[in-house]
Amino acid sequence: MLSRRSAMWWLFKKEWRELAASRAWWVLVVAMGPLVGVSFISAVRTYAEASGLHGTTAGVGEAFSPLVGIWAPTFSSCELAAAFLLPFVGIRLVSGDRQSGALKLEMQHSLSAFSRLAVKAVVLLIGWLVAFVAPLTAVLLWKSYGGTIYAPELVTIAGGHTLNAGLTIALAAATASLAEHPSTAAILTLSVTVGTWIINFIADVQGGIWERVAGYTPTAMVAEFQHGLIRVDVVLIATTLILTGLSLAAIWLRLGKGIRRRVYESIMLGAGAAAIILACTWVTRSLDTSENRMNSFPESDEAALRQIREPLRIVVHLAPEDPRRLDLDRQAISKLRRIMPNLNVEYISSTSIGLFEQTSENYGEIWYELKGRKEMSRVTTAEGALEGIYSVAGLAPPRENDNEIFRGHPLAVPPNGAAPIFYVVWPALTVGLGIFLRRRLA
């Protein structure tokens, strides 16, 4: 056991040295500063202008949520880095051993391929967290401007991007172990990324099952975290996909096993993962960590809705690309799904855009059905949906509680000092650190 632990430690040290020697990782770390800088500076400037900087009229207080105004755009640079830079770092670390012949030596240790790959994944994750210092610098800058920080929503967004990075690492490991050459692995990884975008596009056009599938793509997953929403099913599915990717990589790194056996094991792994993912889609629990409860109805409304035990059916006559349907989904349906497990939503439309259905009978109608009673509404706001539900349930709407209203945190301060930090200090520091570390590790 001691020997195994010692071997793991040596492997960890080796992977860390390989990562530190990898130019791909240093490019990621260096690029992260300017990437975060562009998004942060632009977000702070817009936020400040909307808050009344330069004599502009200040916007409505409720609109000023740092989560949406600052952190979602700032951290979106991490999504870009995870999609276009991190895969190459992962592929380099996994393929490098194969290309150099180190794999043939290391695989002669009794450590399992999964253990060896898990060490690589941990090192890659640490490498990602090092790059994550850039957005954390933005957090410190925001604090220095006098900005408000609500820790739960910040942790949620950072956690979402880390989970996304985990998915990228697992995908890169899987493609790097499947493909003989790193360039093939890079093409495969980017194909999967583009594939998820295609699914999102089809979901926007077609709706239905595609919409459900698109809800689990990395882009959709990150978007939910960026809104301060932690969906347990999304976390479970992402974790399953990460473990599946790493296991697939481990299967294909066992060069001593026959191809047929590896294919069989891959199919079994895929089937098992699919079953787990399918089971996870039934989990409906979620957590709204946003300060302004943007994923939830007011607490008084939620308490009233919880009294409804019977199945609620909502029939929506709106096309997938109709902006009203997007409004209804974001402002009402997604919030209802969180608190009403017995909710059944049915979308009816003949076309994807709905432009030529406007004159059709029923188009635009939203029907609420409960205990045989029906109520029709055309309003797509949260208030409209609640009104329809209370009406069909025979409930009196709860009184509004002024204390529940989010007042917002306007901040009319320009992004002072951010540009030199992200465009000069960060690149200079990371390049200097890179040269120092590479020399020290040599």
Partner 1 sequence: MVFEGLKVSSFSKRFGRFQALENVGFELRPGEVLGLIGPNGAGKTTLFECLAGVLPCDAGRIEMRGRQVQESERFSLLFYLPDGTAPWPSQSVQWALDFTIGFFSGRHEVREQAVAQLGLQPLLHQPLGTLSKGQRKRVLLAIGLMTPQPVLLADEPFDGLDLHQTREVASMLRAHAARGRTLFLSIHQISDAGRVCDRFVLLSCGRVCGEGTLEEVSALAAARTGAQSADLEEVFLALT
**Rule CB under 8 A: which residues touch partner 1?**
3, 6-7, 9-11, 13-14, 17-18, 21-22, 97, 100-102, 104-110, 255-259, 261, 441-442
Nearer to partner 1, 355 or 441 (CB): 441
Grouping H, G, I as helix, E, B as strand and the rest as coil, residue 308 is coil
Grouping H, G, I as helix, E, B as strand and the rest as coil, residue 410 is coil
Least distance to partner 1 from the beta carbon of 185, Å?
19
What residues have CB less than 8 Å from 437, skipping those under 6 apart? Answer: 20
Show the tokens assigned to 427. 């690149």
Nearer to partner 1, 102 or 303 (CB): 102
Show the tokens assigned to 347. 């979308």
CA angle 422, 34, 149 (to 5 degrees): 60
Helix (H) or strand (E) holding 368, with range, is strand 366-370
Least distance to partner 1 from the beta carbon of 179, Å?
18
Least distance to partner 1 from the beta carbon of 120, Å?
14
Phi-psi region of 228 (alpha: psi -120 to 50; beta: other; left: phi over 0): left
Residue ranges of the alpha helices (H) in 307-425?
A: 323-328, 334-339, 382-393, 418-420
Least distance to partner 1 from the beta carbon of 104, Å?
5
Rounded distance between C-alpha atoms, residue 251 and residue 121, angstroms: 15
Helix (H) or strand (E) holding 268, with range, is helix 259-280
Nearer to partner 1, 97 or 224 (CB): 97
Parallel/antiparallel/unpaired status of strands 373-377 and 229-231: unpaired
CA angle 204, 207, 212 (to 5 degrees): 100
Least distance to partner 1 from the beta carbon of 2, Å?
10
Residue ranges of the alpha helices (H) in 207-217?
A: 209-214
Least distance to partner 1 from the beta carbon of 23, Å?
10
Nearer to partner 1, 25 or 368 (CB): 25
Least distance to partner 1 from the beta carbon of 5, Å?
11
Q: Are 28 and 169 in contact (CB under 8 A)?
A: no
Least distance to partner 1 from the beta carbon of 248, Å?
18
Nearer to partner 1, 258 or 372 (CB): 258
Instruction: DSSP letter for 423, please.
Output: I
Nearer to partner 1, 99 or 381 (CB): 99
Parallel/antiparallel/unpaired status of strands 312-316 and 343-347: parallel
Sign of the Cα torsion 143, 148, 149, 153 reads: negative
Nearer to partner 1, 105 or 355 (CB): 105
Sign of the Cα torsion 291, 296, 298, 299 reads: negative
Least distance to partner 1 from the beta carbon of 26, Å?
12
Least distance to partner 1 from the beta carbon of 184, Å?
20
Nearer to partner 1, 17 or 45 (CB): 17
Nearer to partner 1, 6 or 191 (CB): 6
- What φ, ψ does residue 310 adopt, rounded to 5°? -75, 155
Nearer to partner 1, 124 or 203 (CB): 124
